[in-house]
Structure 1
Amino acid sequence: MVTPNMVTPNRFIRLLGCGVAAAALALPGLTTAKPATAQTTTNGAAMTTQAEAAPLIPRDALFGNPTRAAGQISPNGEWLSWLAPRDGVLNIWIAPAGNPDAARAMTSATDRPIRQHFWSPDSRAVMYIQDKGGDENYLLYRVDVTSGEETTVTPFENTRIEIVGSSNTIKDKLLLGINNRDPQWHDVHLLDLATGELTLVLENNAYAGFMADDSLTLRMAMQQNEAGGTDYFRVEDGTVEGEPFETTDMEDSLTTAPAGYTTDGDTLYWIDSRGRNTAALFAQDTATGERRLIAEDDKADIGNTLRDPQTGEIEAYAVNYLKTEWTATDPATRASLGWLGERLDGEFGINSRTDDDSVWIIWNDPLTKPTATYIYDRKAQTLSPFYVSRPELEGMPLQPMHGIEIASRDGLTLPSYLTLPPGSDADGDARPDSPVPMVLLVHGGPWARDGYGFNSIHQMLANRGYGVLSVNFRGSTGFGKDFLNAANKQWGLKMHDDLIDAVDWAVDQGIAQADKVAIMGGSYGGYATLAGLTFTPETFACGVDIVGPSNLETLLSTIPPYWAPMVKIFHERMGDPGTEEGRALLQAASPLYKADRITKPLLIAQGANDPRVKQAESDQIVGAMKSAGIPVTYVLYPDEGHGFAKPANNIAFFAIAENFLAECIGGRAEPLGDALESSSAQIIEGDEYVKGMEAAAGG
């Protein structure tokens, strides 16, 4: 089975909401994984003998640096590249494709890890984007392969760049969107990769985004309309036409988007839900406007596509319901995917491809073994090991993830994922032999989704003795626009009901102990945690909120300026603070106003530089709880943003979280030890409520 890393090289994704899921807060681990010594707090919860006997997976092995990650091959096939630690910080490394052992570090980041990189189209440089302290003002950097010289391509302050276009035929240029003139708007510039010169192509004062063809000619501009949908305008000779050639209403705004042009510019692909529920894949003739249906699915949207590197034509497409299924439309691609499927267990996908499509970099997630990456030579039909990202997890008791369907009280089907503690499910039927403590792990977005595969948070929590349930509640993406739009203006209402229904289901099925269910999540998942402890205070035994908003009015009033062109979608889907009705809706859905109803332990973690969910969102609910005499534990990271990028900070957070949960719902925990010493964690409130934290914090 092939999974979603097979994407169009030019694809650009803009997140419309606070889209960091809890699982995305963690980077894979790099240590020698020796079974850790556990402390167990039963607190009335019965753990299985098998779960207690399973080796404790060290936090470092799950949330520290990977040994290697993000493997790529240069477009010309001459170089391999990857991310790996250099003096403890993730940096970019390269090696000749014919001699992977001759590796050298190309960057020298000493503080914030480099988390993604890509090759310049001409294969002469590796490039990456980086922000400062999690502020999401991403600048673009280039490192010359021959000289090793590193340059800042966009040397501006308080600027966020976007990749507007790259080309398979014009190797020495890129189109960039840069908002250094006005933070609300990204002007389009042509970057000369050889000289670093930036040439203004279009000054932008109206449009949320652009799309170019392979000739790096702007062909389309996007603008949010009054209905909360999107208008799509043709661009001719650098001028945006006055009337849109395509438009969507709000109901299709998150399920319809152009998916790129073929190299000759004659065909424009769309993933489109207009006039239907699930988004289908269409090809549109750019001259006549005629559209041709390529693929559709009744249960889920068409997701990613695999495109021919030379022609830009679609070779395969993906549908992701409980798992991702790929269908090849090109015979050679079908043969290659079939060949790989016969040799790889679990999930696999493509990280990178050469321009001639002869070599693929393949990742493989065996699900209960560490993820591995291979070099696949399509002509020679060879699959050569490249690296294992987490070799320290070899032999550790990793648990399978189960895809399940849960019914909501009003008849929706909620695609969900369950992981159980080791030894708790003797017959493998996704039901433990007896109920276990459970953590409801809620994804961010909310316009995002949980998916199938290795998840370091699932693995840690299951290893500590908990069932872990992740629910695609209404509003999650990928399951059709009806499911998505069922969440409109339902924050704290039906969206929350779905989570409660999932907990009730788990209790009814004998999976969870009713009095030992915790709720945990990041971003929207953090909001859901606060909502869970305020709106339904008797359902959960405790909560862990990671960068979650507490007041939806202040959340919307402090969105980053580059989101302003799309603000209508927030108002239509959450509530318009400019109207009395909208303000009332937002206030009613804000946990801040019900903070005095919190009766269960709460752990809050926040990045001080978060541009999406400002520190004030956590400060104000902590302040409200203190005023009401309600205990809370509050951890602040001064060098982080919307999630935790630095492994030391990640490890410190999960050290606190697992000890907090052990006290609350009775599982195992690796002792806190010195986990806080190398992190920036500041314990603002409540160090006395987590075992070992007073001593670790110097209290």
Structure 2
Amino acid sequence: MRPLRQLMLAALALAAACHAQAEAPPVASFFNNPAFNGAMLSPNGRYLAAFVGAGGQRDGLAVVDLSDMSAHMVAQFRDTDIGRAQWVNNERLLFSTVDKSVARRDVRFGPGLFAVDRDGKRFRQLARRNTPFIQSGDSGRDMLPWHTFMLDQAGAQDSEEVYVSDAGIEGAGILVSSDLLRLNTRTSITHTVGHPGVARGWLLDQHGRPRLVETLDKNIESIHYLDPATEQWRTLASFDAYTGGGGFEPLAFGPDGTLYVTSRAGRDRSALYRYDLVHGKLADKPMVELEGFDFSGHLVISNNRLLGVRVHGDAEGTAWFDADMKALQATVDTLLPGTINLITPPSRPETPWVLVLSYSDKQPQRTMVFNTETKRMSEVGNVAPQIKPADMGSRELVHYTARDGLDIPAWLTLPPGGKDKNLPMVVLVHGGPFMRGGSWNWNADAQFLATRGYAVLEPEFRGSVGFGDAHFRAGWKQWGLKMQDDVADGTRWAIAQGTADAKRICIAGASYGGYATLMGLINDPDLYRCGVDWVGVTDIDLLYDSGWRYASDLPQGWKQYGMPALIGDRVKDAAQLQATSPLRQAARVTQPLLLAYGGADVRVPITHGLKFYDAVKAGNPNVEWIEYPEEGHGWALPKNRIDFWTRVEHFLDKNIGAH
């Protein structure tokens, strides 16, 4: 498959291409909580469930009858928001809650678990919200414990029962196990599912029954299959959970019981394969592979047929196998030109309605329903309705060559208005770092900076996933070294291209991106005029041990097996970790710096920021410190997101001013 972005180029001539805006959109339009948070069709396609909040009320769960477009709220609370939901069957919904009014420090309740009919009747609480540390008037004796969670799989959707996870959680929210329960949403009766080992993940089969379980023993992950012929578990594969090596990732069971998995199969990039459960091996050839990317996606199944595969290359899209779906895609694309349009049919359709998610680099995601008979398209909601595509900049996937010859992908977002040369630039480094950073879509952070006049470069430096095994492994033990060089090489590439003004470049990022910001200021002081680090790591030793006062949610297994191999061993690599510690080299940071940390962060505890701030301010008068006491690893509250990005805007304007 060719990258989806290439296929869209001809359709992207929006009226905004040469739009010269008089005033940038306000900060809140990028960083407020959306009033609309997604929708999903019932199995038969007659109803649409949507997460909505309006008029200062908490996010509720509404159901739309698509036959007449009538809508009503079926569940809403005064003290919390509805966060997740799924259809149990055509008449009933399962949902949990999340309190969007508080940040991590002030979270007092679990998500709970609830069920309600689509008409709002027969409401039932299935799992408690209150933890053992929170007392309430409701004893909840007939309810499941607070650590009962929904699966991310819908299941059969043909009875009153669902499968849910009974999560084993330790310390600061560390998941140590995930047992499975079959739950009746009418009666609350449960049955435990037996399994080998310490379960960490489950996969339901085409009938909605548990068929695979992933277990973890120290650093060894094993995949077990419940053989329907014997009703006994047998092991399909075992491999190192942190460094991989010959393993595969179960994706889904097809309508005929075929197991689909993602695997590298000895090649650099992963692809989608069929797995032979009888002989325990992959098919000889991949079913779907993407040019330039590891496979990422899911199956699209409707009416007991595999219609296609949702894929994520440079953008998300769909590889359709079904001729009718290919024709439908063409029809929808004609109605919605200039956007990627993702079509999802109901699982057991009785109506002509399908769900359509539409987006581009300039258009935030819109959710619509489309009637395949009448060709009627109706918009349901928009995640950022105040954003006008005409006011946004363009976003492209670019490539440059690192100093050792490695190809580095990167996302380049340019300001609206057409100017693309000699721009002030922000190098935005993604967190993780062993994750994929970006995609061709509307990105709030990058577009906010672009609308302020900045070019934004987001490198997919070595160690980033999604671009092949060699690219990923090239980043092992390269914090502050070759990973950092990749970021600097991308900066110099943008200067050589004429995109960036060499005298007006700032580096910024969160978490690992915050670490890379500080190391960028240390390693390449000639490149960066300033830096913005939020919730950033300042010393790798502190990741291993942040002190008795500060909780951490990094699992012990990751510290024992993953970090020594991928980041650095505290003993064997002690000299390297010291040489690549921003904290130990804080005196070398002389450029203006904005630091922001959350007081309740358990991923990168605030001790990282406090120690670095104390060390750097002794010799650098241009350091600004922001602390959000209630926040964790990132900003959960809109007021803090708006405050932070307003401060970033002023900081950048002062130091590399776009205007």
Shorter-chain TM-score tier: 0.7 to 0.9
- Do the aligned residues in 1 keep the contact of 2:45 with 2:354 (CA within 8 Å)? no
After superposition, the C-alpha distances for 1:543-597 in whole angstroms (9 at most, x for unaligned) are 11122211222224468568345552333211233xx214444333332221121
* Greater Cα shift, 597-606 or 284-293: 284-293
Per the alignment, residue 335 of structure 1 pairs with 327
Kindly report the root-mean-square deviation, in angstroms, between the aligned alpha carbons of the 2 structures.
3.4
* Greater Cα shift, 652-661 or 325-334: 325-334
Instruction: Give me the whole-angstrom Cα distance separating, in 2, the residues matched to 1:50 and 1:631.
Output: 36
- Do the aligned residues in 2 keep the contact of 1:403 with 1:416 (CA within 8 Å)? yes
Correspondence for 1:455 among 437, 443, 447: 443
Unaligned stretches of 5+ residues in structure 2: 5-17, 133-146
Deviation, 1:460, is 1.5
The SS at the match of 1:503 is helix
Q: Residues 214, 164 of structure 1: CA spacing in aligned structure 2 closer, same or farther, 3 A cutoff? A: farther
After superposition, the C-alpha distances for 1:239-270 in whole angstroms (9 at most, x for unaligned) are 755x5535468554699411022345x32111
Alignment pair present for 1:302 and 2:295: yes
After superposition, the C-alpha distances for 1:463-508 in whole angstroms (9 at most, x for unaligned) are 1111111111112221111111111111111111111001001111
Correspondence for 2:509 among 512, 515, 521: 521
Deviation, 1:396, is 5.0
Deviation, 1:275, is 0.6
Deviation, 1:392, is 2.6
After superposition, the C-alpha distances for 1:618-667 in whole angstroms (9 at most, x for unaligned) are 22222322455654222222333222222222111111111111111113
Counting only pairs closer than 5 Å after superposition, residues 277-292 of structure 1 correspond to structure 2 as: 277-292=268-283
The SS at the match of 1:302 is coil
Count of residues paired in the alignment: 609
Q: Residues 340, 396 of structure 1: CA spacing in aligned structure 2 closer, same or farther, 3 A cutoff? A: closer
Q: Using CA pairs under 8 Å that are at least 6 residues apart, name the structure with larger relative contact order, 1 or 2.
A: 1
Instruction: Give me the whole-angstrom Cα distance separating, in 1, the residues matched to 2:153 and 2:83.
Output: 21
Instruction: Give me the whole-angstrom Cα distance separating, in 2, the residues matched to 1:147 and 1:169.
Output: 19
* TM-score, normalised relative to structure 1: 0.78
Per the alignment, residue 508 of structure 1 pairs with 496
Q: Residues 178, 630 of structure 1: CA spacing in aligned structure 2 closer, same or farther, 3 A cutoff? A: farther
Per the alignment, residue 695 of structure 1 pairs with none
Per the alignment, residue 573 of structure 1 pairs with 566
Per the alignment, residue 338 of structure 2 pairs with 346
Alignment pair present for 1:544 and 2:537: no
Matched-pair identity in %: 26
The SS at the match of 2:578 is helix
Per the alignment, residue 356 of structure 1 pairs with 348
Q: Give the letter aligned to residue 172 of structure 1.
A: E
Per the alignment, residue 370 of structure 2 pairs with 376
- Do the aligned residues in 2 keep the contact of 1:169 with 1:215 (CA within 8 Å)? no
After superposition, the C-alpha distances for 1:78-130 in whole angstroms (9 at most, x for unaligned) are 4323333345365134132234453437223556x655543334541251353
Alignment pair present for 1:311 and 2:300: no
The SS at the match of 2:325 is helix
Counting only pairs closer than 5 Å after superposition, residues 548-559 of structure 1 correspond to structure 2 as: 548-557=536-545
Counting only pairs closer than 5 Å after superposition, residues 105-504 of structure 1 correspond to structure 2 as: 106-108=75-77, 110=79, 116-130=84-98, 133-134=103-104, 139-144=111-116, 145=118, 146-147=120-121, 149=123, 151=125, 153-155=127-129, 157=131, 159=147, 161=149, 163=151, 165-168=153-156, 170-180=158-168, 184-202=176-194, 206-224=198-216, 230-235=221-226, 241=234, 244-245=236-237, 247=239, 252=244, 256-264=248-256, 266-292=257-283, 293-311=286-304, 313=306, 315-320=308-313, 322-350=314-342, 353-357=345-349, 358-394=352-388, 396-425=390-419, 432=420, 434-446=421-433, 447-504=435-492
Deviation, 1:462, is 1.3
Instruction: Give me the whole-angstrom Cα distance separating, in 1, the residues matched to 2:97 and 2:274.
Output: 32
The SS at the match of 2:188 is coil
The SS at the match of 1:208 is strand
- Do the aligned residues in 1 keep the contact of 2:353 with 2:372 (CA within 8 Å)? yes
Per the alignment, residue 677 of structure 1 pairs with none
Q: Give the letter aligned to residue 450 of structure 2.
A: A
Q: Residues 491, 605 of structure 1: CA spacing in aligned structure 2 closer, same or farther, 3 A cutoff? A: same
Q: Give the letter aligned to residue 408 of structure 1.
A: A
The SS at the match of 1:391 is coil
- Do the aligned residues in 1 keep the contact of 2:35 with 2:59 (CA within 8 Å)? no
- Do the aligned residues in 1 keep the contact of 2:155 with 2:209 (CA within 8 Å)? no
Q: Residues 218, 494 of structure 1: CA spacing in aligned structure 2 closer, same or farther, 3 A cutoff? A: same
Q: Residues 124, 361 of structure 1: CA spacing in aligned structure 2 closer, same or farther, 3 A cutoff? A: same
Unaligned stretches of 5+ residues in structure 1: 5-48, 426-431, 669-699
Deviation, 1:348, is 2.9
- Do the aligned residues in 2 keep the contact of 1:3 with 1:325 (CA within 8 Å)? no
Correspondence for 2:518 among 487, 508, 530: 530
Deviation, 1:352, is 5.3
The SS at the match of 1:555 is helix
* Greater Cα shift, 464-473 or 247-256: 247-256
The SS at the match of 2:386 is helix
Instruction: Give me the whole-angstrom Cα distance separating, in 2, the residues matched to 1:582 and 1:121.
Output: 54
Q: Residues 105, 213 of structure 1: CA spacing in aligned structure 2 closer, same or farther, 3 A cutoff? A: closer
- Do the aligned residues in 2 keep the contact of 1:545 with 1:604 (CA within 8 Å)? yes
The SS at the match of 2:59 is strand
Instruction: Give me the whole-angstrom Cα distance separating, in 2, the residues matched to 1:510 and 1:382.
Output: 46
- Do the aligned residues in 1 keep the contact of 2:83 with 2:95 (CA within 8 Å)? no
Q: Give the letter aligned to residue 531 of structure 1.
A: M
Instruction: Give me the whole-angstrom Cα distance separating, in 1, the residues matched to 2:161 and 2:272.
Output: 29
* Greater Cα shift, 596-605 or 343-352: 343-352
Per the alignment, residue 50 of structure 2 pairs with 82
Alignment pair present for 1:663 and 2:654: yes
The SS at the match of 2:645 is helix
Per the alignment, residue 41 of structure 2 pairs with 73
Q: Give the letter aligned to residue 519 of structure 1.
A: I
The SS at the match of 1:295 is coil
Deviation, 1:178, is 2.5
- Do the aligned residues in 2 keep the contact of 1:277 with 1:481 (CA within 8 Å)? yes
Q: Residues 249, 161 of structure 1: CA spacing in aligned structure 2 closer, same or farther, 3 A cutoff? A: closer
Deviation, 1:351, is 7.5
Instruction: Give me the whole-angstrom Cα distance separating, in 2, the residues matched to 1:384 and 1:163.
Output: 30
* TM-score, normalised relative to structure 2: 0.83
Alignment pair present for 1:613 and 2:613: no
Instruction: Give me the whole-angstrom Cα distance separating, in 1, the residues matched to 2:631 and 2:498.
Output: 39
Alignment pair present for 1:625 and 2:643: no
Instruction: Give me the whole-angstrom Cα distance separating, in 2, the residues matched to 1:120 and 1:618.
Output: 45
- Do the aligned residues in 1 keep the contact of 2:30 with 2:448 (CA within 8 Å)? yes
- Do the aligned residues in 1 keep the contact of 2:48 with 2:65 (CA within 8 Å)? yes
Instruction: Give me the whole-angstrom Cα distance separating, in 2, the residues matched to 1:588 and 1:399.
Output: 39
Q: Residues 349, 50 of structure 1: CA spacing in aligned structure 2 closer, same or farther, 3 A cutoff? A: closer
Q: Give the letter aligned to residue 360 of structure 1.
A: V
- Do the aligned residues in 2 keep the contact of 1:121 with 1:166 (CA within 8 Å)? no
Q: Give the letter aligned to residue 58 of structure 1.
A: P
- Do the aligned residues in 1 keep the contact of 2:423 with 2:455 (CA within 8 Å)? yes
- Do the aligned residues in 2 keep the contact of 1:139 with 1:152 (CA within 8 Å)? no
Deviation, 1:445, is 1.8
Q: Residues 66, 585 of structure 1: CA spacing in aligned structure 2 closer, same or farther, 3 A cutoff? A: same
Instruction: Give me the whole-angstrom Cα distance separating, in 1, the residues matched to 2:247 and 2:521.
Output: 32
